[in-house]
Chain A
């Protein structure tokens, strides 16, 4: 076991990263060692990244200990770069974190300054492009985010600061240390673009409200959601869009961030219906949404939007049921999840259990009003039961060998005498799915003495397929 991270006090004691735990304990018997949890660290960093989205939607993680914030176009909201940086550092320090930061025109330069810059005033951490080379040259080469072996080779060559590299000719350096060194240097100076990959997709539209006094009651949050929806309305109208997926981000005072998603089955713009969606979601979340000391920022974003055509209202027409149906589906889905409301659909398969599937009602496209009379039990179509067992249940049947219908069968410990039987309807397995060895099934419609109608099948054929045929119950007819 080795030390992976140390706090300031431990560093002061002379312990080092990578040192064995036994050795460290021998040096200082009363140190407190905690087992490293990389996943928990990553989770914490993600939570911090969410918190940082109060400054800009573009937040990316950098390794295990840093965050990149693309604040292009966001600074003026916080009174300039200096105010933004000092605000962020002060708030993070308030949470008990020791953080350093820098603002520059490239991610590489910001990283170098944040990690290796002199501790000083905030103003020294703000670098405009003209000063980039001057600021970068006194920093050690490690500030260029290079691999350990390259760093070692550089130090053997006596190249200690970035200034040494800037002065040296490029071609020999590339030949000796590879392309990567120069690429990092160019990235830091802005000669080469370096994209950052934001952790969360950026919402197309978002509206937020910062509160002077934190709120925690559900009614207040719903009211705020309604207010934000109303503020969102002109933006959606201007673009001719309606939202399909909304996200309400709640920033708690202590730094925790909650995201509440609500989907809609049709493009949606009406603030009242958006509010109703979130009221359903809040009812479903209950205790998961812990308000603590309250929320200070509430933001509503549209994650997914679709064009929404506007239709003239018709005073005389009856109520449009497709709209009320969509409302009901949205409400129920917001409350119970997408797999609660289902729509049965037919699929192209002759194997019974694959012929029917359930799709979440919210994902179904708007169903066209069909004028075709679909309710027809054509005599040319084989009859199918109305209820089908997900797993067929085995029965003991007495039947004529090889291919006769059952005369009587025992199912769930009850004997049923067969009065009428129709069949067999032979259904072979789908060789492109089940393989060629799949047993054939012979289905029979059975009516017993009481008039109950069952769908029984024999799996396997006598003599022609391996294994003894067995009988199964697969469904109920009306």
Chain B
């Protein structure tokens, strides 16, 4: 009996050490009275780390240990470059989510630094200001960097974090570059935690890789929602709120929350909030002839009442 208690105490001490090294809050895993031995430690750790922002989506909050952390490094990756839209969208949604909460908190704008990548910009397009604004980001507070090399990108991300000017830094990298290893990842994560900002590592078209991130999410696109009409009904056949399918590959709390299957969430750009998808309407297999909602655009040529050509050809009209 005494032996098991001693072993548990040792085990708890080890967990405590690891948690401290990872900069996480401690969890009372067993809920027993032994955990109270280090309650003051728990309190200190909780004071150090600002409380995470809850998404108000219970399964996601559970897996991510309370929601979006305000400080530290997190990874979002897209397995293929053609899913770059979804991964970028999710990362920017998280930034906009943070900006929205910052506005509510103290009114000062939360600046965002986006360190881009040249290959991705060529393969998947460059940021488009009207679209970013529609997505919920405040353009006045966005700085986009396009460095030439990975070393420059790392320097920019680190300097951005150190300056404490940004609430969120998005570091985009293509694939799994050799020069971005464990030590770089550890260094950036420490910087982010120290600066109290969120560093989102956006890995485009890369595989799973160990790193010193709080969590890692594989983002892929999911079917979008529908437009909601003023009377509350949904308009079928429309492309509404953007849907993301998230597979949490690494969780800050792996012991207490088993990694769940991919879940789908939608981003409401107007409210700058995430929500769970609504019950779906049956999808159209084939798009209707006039696909724009409510617009009955008639075909402007080739109508049935086109007049026949009259007479015989005397001279050809100009070909161009």
Contact = CB atoms under 8 A, between A and B. Distances in A.
A301 B154 CA distance: 32
A386 B159 contact: no
A294 to B, nearest CB: 29
Contacts of B301: 402, 461-464
Contacts of B261: none
Which of A358, A390, A414, A420 gathers most chain B CB within 10 Å? A420
Contacts, number: 251
B156 interface: yes
B165 A327 contact: yes
A341 B242 contact: no
A336 B223 CA distance: 41
B272 to A, nearest CB: 5
A370 to B, nearest CB: 6
A383 B122 CA distance: 22
Contact of B132 (A339, A368, A379, A386): A386
B159 A451 contact: no
B25 interface: no
Contacts of A386: 85, 88-89, 92, 127-128, 131-132, 135
Contact of A345 (B107, B139, B287, B320): B139
Interface string A396-421: 00001111110100001010001111
Interface in A341-368: 341-346, 352, 355-358, 361, 367-368
Given A420-B239, A424-B297, A319 B164 contact: yes
Nearest to B224: A447
B185 interface: no
A422 B128 contact: no
Contacts of B127: 344, 356, 386-388
Nearest to A343: B143
A476 B125 contact: yes
Contacts of A343: 142-144
Interface in B92-111: 92-93, 96, 99-100, 103, 106-109, 111
B146 A342 contact: yes
Contacts of B242: 453, 477-478
Contacts of A125: none
Contacts of B100: 375
A475 to B, nearest CB: 5
Contacts of B108: 318, 321, 369
Interface string A373-385: 1111111010111
- Name the residue among A329, A374, A445 with the largest chain B CB count within 10 angstroms: A374
Contacts of B210: none
Interface residues of A, number: 81
Contact of B300 (A371, A403, A447): A403
Interface stretch (B59-67, B186-194, B288-296): B288-296
A377 B147 contact: no
A423 interface: yes
B267 interface: yes
Given A356-B127, A451-B221, 16 more contacts: A324-B164, A331-B163, A336-B156, A340-B145, A340-B146, A341-B144, A374-B133, A377-B135, A385-B125, A387-B125, A420-B223, A452-B221, A462-B301, A476-B124, A478-B85, A478-B93
13 contacts: A325-B111, A339-B146, A358-B144, A375-B133, A376-B269, A386-B132, A402-B301, A407-B287, A420-B238, A425-B292, A451-B243, A452-B85, A453-B85
Interface of A: 318-319, 321, 324-325, 327-329, 331-332, 335-336, 339-346, 352, 355-358, 361, 367-371, 373-379, 381, 383-390, 400-405, 407, 412, 414, 418-425, 444-445, 447, 450-454, 461-464, 466, 475-478
Interface of B: 82-86, 88-90, 92-93, 96, 99-100, 103, 106-109, 111, 122, 124-148, 152, 155-156, 159-160, 163-166, 220-224, 227, 237-239, 242-245, 267, 269-270, 272, 283-287, 289, 291-293, 297, 299-302, 320
Q: Which 4 A-B pairs have the closest CB atoms?
A: A478-B89, A476-B85, A387-B125, A356-B129
